[in-house]
Amino acid sequence: MELPLAFSNLSSLQQRILTALIVLPICIAAVYYGYPYFDILASFILFAMMREWSKMVLDQTYHPMGYILAALMLSFIYTDVTYKKYVQYSLILFAGSFPIHILMKKRLFDYFVFVIGTLYISWSVYILIQLVHEGLTRFFIWILLIIWASDTGAYFTGRFIGGPKLAPTISPNKTWSGFIGGCGVATLVGVLVGPYLQDFYRTPFSMAIVACSLSLVSHMGDLLESLLKRYYDVKDTGTLLPGHGGLLDRLDSLLLVSFAAGLLLIIGY
């Protein structure tokens, strides 16, 4: 996808800033006003991520299975489709598309990675929509602040302190100091704003434990995407966000954190 002329003449940093100024207000407004605006935005993001995921793993921009599985996942929210039916539909779809991959001489490993990733991305977006539908918008904002604090803390701590690399073969720029600094800042932010944005964790200790855990998961989500991009020899998953890359590049941490947050709520912690 080619950049609009207004973006292509700017430096990378200018593109990042301008993109953030355009996209952030839209996202904040969608979260604030909730249904149906957040649902529309989240659905668009989900299908755009399916496009990037298919392109990266299968070198196929429009793979129908990814879109259908994503649509089935969203149908949980708006129809009476049960989990049992979802599993049945998914297995039928899986069995039906399997021979096509054989005929196209695609690697089976890539096919399984694509299916697992599709389910993971779809579930993560499903959880985010459910949080808003369940009236947990403030909790959602708390999670976002923890992720942003983790990223910002890691960036500045790593930049000013430096030191040993965290995972040089996966992400050469990440350092242990940045990792620890990110977790520390995220924990501090989580405790400070927790009393105003969520009702699940009442004590500073419990808020600190959850915030630090989500920060750890945030780093893992970032590393997981870096590992996959390195394996498939991809620099950016897309060009939808000028200066930032693709949606998967920007939302890698949020996807895994939403998954973890949903799991915490399910097990009652």
Q: Rounded CA gap, 4 and 8, in Å?
A: 6
pLDDT of residue 5: 57
* Residue from 174, 184, 262 nearest 220 by CA: 174
3-state SS class at 38: helix
Low-confidence ranges of the chain (pLDDT < 70): 1-10, 103-105, 268-269
Which residues have C-beta within 8 Å of that of residue 173, sequence separation ≥ 6? 158
pLDDT of residue 206: 93
Q: Rounded CA gap, 207 and 127, in Å?
A: 20
- As given in the structure block, the two tokens for residue 203 are 């004590």
Contact 19, 241 (CB under 8 A): yes
pLDDT of residue 63: 78
pLDDT of residue 179: 94
Q: Rounded CA gap, 207 and 210, in Å?
A: 5
pLDDT of residue 121: 93
Query: What are the backbone dihedrals phi and psi of residue 60, each rounded to the nearest 5 degrees, phi first?
Result: -140, 110
pLDDT of residue 267: 74
pLDDT of residue 28: 86
Instruction: Tell me the whole-structure pTM to 2 decimals.
Output: 0.86
